[in-house]
Chain A
């Protein structure tokens, strides 16, 4: 299902061919798939509809960046809007001017409040604070014991009065206890409750009135479906929440609920929780969740970077040269530069869907310094030498080695690799006539992928594999993601 969606999105994007401005047809076609992706990620239907309308309005008529295809341009806009909607990363707790700072955790049953309370306490400990945990869940069997065990693990005191006490009293005395013992942060773990349970919602409102928390965090299970909207609305209306903690994000959920919660409450997502092991809470990254919701992995990041780094016209020129086999050392250097502009290469590779699944590529690490050295070697050649490497005799090679601070052997290596690349391209130039542009390019890319790293040598073929990153993305999309 997931694979199907991003696959179909990719297919639709491939079909968009218009140049210059985005037409309404382009946008409509892409948005149909975007809508499905959002719905499959559990973003609320209502919010999806608003969102799609807004993006459509913004996208139609927009200039297509030269480095992107129209489809990629639409997705880029969607991605930006999503990130925007999710708000900035604000992983700071509102601290009280006069300590102690009071933080209250609320949410449905099983959303992860108790675990989050302990993680939050640990986060504060790491920041040199002295937190106190208050066990106000008197309903779930052994909830208090759970908090006590966790408190022991992280060496944070836990205040409790057993299960017979009233949660409002517990919270109030907990706050007094914190003042007495000099704790500067009080974290109140409340019982899980349904947003439609008036009695329990009254109770939590009373706790709020009694301790006047600086921060009321709604703990939301990232796997929540369409109902997230109603839950968040109800809690927000009743309590005025100040932030959201998104838990269980280490699963394979796409976490669209986060978007819904953010949209209906306007409150920032402050932290994310992953795993039941007690570690400090992680800050929330809106951009990462945006790409996760769209289900396109880090393809989006790749588009983003490609749109900044690679000039489409240069890429097309390069492609023509590849086909006609008039690829020179100058071109080689140009490619190296563009590829390096994308960022750390092994990271880039990991972003390309499917690459991480390729055999032998799991643990590949690319030495950036080698790329820099190749560039230096080529830059130490004269223009004539770059255009016609055949004239490079031993004396010239020595000069180049001296000029770039390497040995003659390394110069030879680079030249050998370049020659191999040229040979390969000649072969593919023939290919191209039979299978068309795309065929030749793809064949080349797969060669680039598999041979360059399999041999473990200098990444000589890498640049050839990346003449046009967006194309490469599409190629790999066809491999099934699992």
Chain B
């Protein structure tokens, strides 16, 4: 199955939701305020948020005027362009170390899908022939270490682990040493899920980052914030506070195989300039794809 198909399949339900209702308006042909109002509401229903929805609609309206578009049928493609542009303003490529291991720190709120994403990412790097080490930095949640060890077994990666309750920064420290000794290419660090408004937990995360930076020049090369695709506007608060604490370099948008739209990444990209780097499209180990703004917008917009 092609990538775009996968995207479209994942977003199938959301597309019907957004454009299903709008279909009648678009077919109606006339370009009036009612159409734009409907478009705005459809975008809000996709978790795009009130402000960004209004902004997108305004962009489309301006573009329609400029191109002297008089029928509503052409609006979806205008919207698609506006979205693609907004999402393309930032670079979605992964930053890898010039020499030595690349360290990726995975952060996010509880239940967003950090450990699963690490498993999928490990699988991906392994199939590209890289040596991957997993660091079991979630020393808090019951059996989180076992969960990561299971992923290590499935993907054939070494897992550096301490006992539950250990200092996660120490786990990362050991993982870096292990990566050097075993000449690993990538270190994927799991962390405990934490709500972003818990200051001590955010401070702990900052410490992990500091230890990584001290032990491995240039690290962390990526700090990926894992965002559950079903999350609403709270994802904005998550992006802001995690960015303040550990300087997030990218977003992983998970669970897009449901009916959720993940539209909240639009305001995140627009307000905080954090690129979306990966999307999780299912439960299989290979259901993680690099983010492509054009596809994402297309899958969301085209009826």
Contact = CB atoms under 8 A, between A and B. Distances in A.
A225 B260 contact: yes
Interface in A117-146: 139-143, 145-146
A367 B110 CA distance: 41
Contact of A227 (B47, B112, B140, B143): B47
A145 B234 contact: no
A40 B49 contact: yes
B143 A149 contact: yes
Given A109-B113, A145-B146, A225 B195 contact: no
Given A194-B258, A251-B109, 5 more contacts: A36-B50, A110-B255, A226-B232, A248-B195, A252-B196
B232 A248 contact: no
B111 A226 contact: no
Interface of A: 1, 36, 39-42, 44-46, 108-112, 139-143, 145-146, 148-150, 153, 194-196, 221, 223-228, 230-231, 248, 250-254, 256-257, 276
Interface of B is mostly: loop
25 contacts: A1-B51, A36-B50, A45-B45, A110-B110, A110-B111, A111-B111, A141-B119, A142-B143, A145-B142, A145-B143, A146-B142, A146-B144, A195-B259, A196-B258, A223-B232, A225-B232, A225-B264, A226-B45, A226-B47, A227-B47, A228-B230, A230-B13, A231-B259, A250-B197, A252-B197
B296 to A, nearest CB: 17
Nearest to B142: A149
A226 B112 CA distance: 17
B231 interface: yes
A44 B146 CA distance: 38
Nearest to B267: A1
A276 B237 contact: no
A150 B109 contact: no
B234 A142 contact: no
Nearest to B43: A45
B236 interface: yes
Interface in B228-283: 228, 230-237, 255, 257-261, 264, 283
Interface of B: 13, 17, 41, 44-47, 49-51, 109-113, 119, 140-144, 146-147, 149-151, 154, 193, 195-198, 228, 230-237, 255, 257-261, 264, 283
Nearest to B111: A110
Given A251-B195, A252-B197, A225 B233 contact: yes
A36 B258 CA distance: 26
A195 B259 CA distance: 8
B110 A39 contact: no
A422 B44 CA distance: 54
B146 A225 contact: no
B236 A223 contact: no
B166 to A, nearest CB: 15
Contacts of A148: 143
Nearest to A2: B237
Contacts of B49: 40
A41 B237 CA distance: 12
A224 B142 contact: no
Nearest to B236: A1
Given A42-B234, A142-B146, A110 B44 contact: no
Contact of B109 (A194, A196, A228, A248): A248
Contact of B232 (A46, A143, A146, A257): A257
B268 to A, nearest CB: 12
A142 B228 contact: no
Interface centre among A36, A40, A253, A254 (most CB of B within 10 A): A253
A223 B234 contact: yes
B168 to A, nearest CB: 15
Contacts of A149: 142-143
Contact of A223 (B146, B198, B228, B257): B228
A381 to B, nearest CB: 51
B21 to A, nearest CB: 10
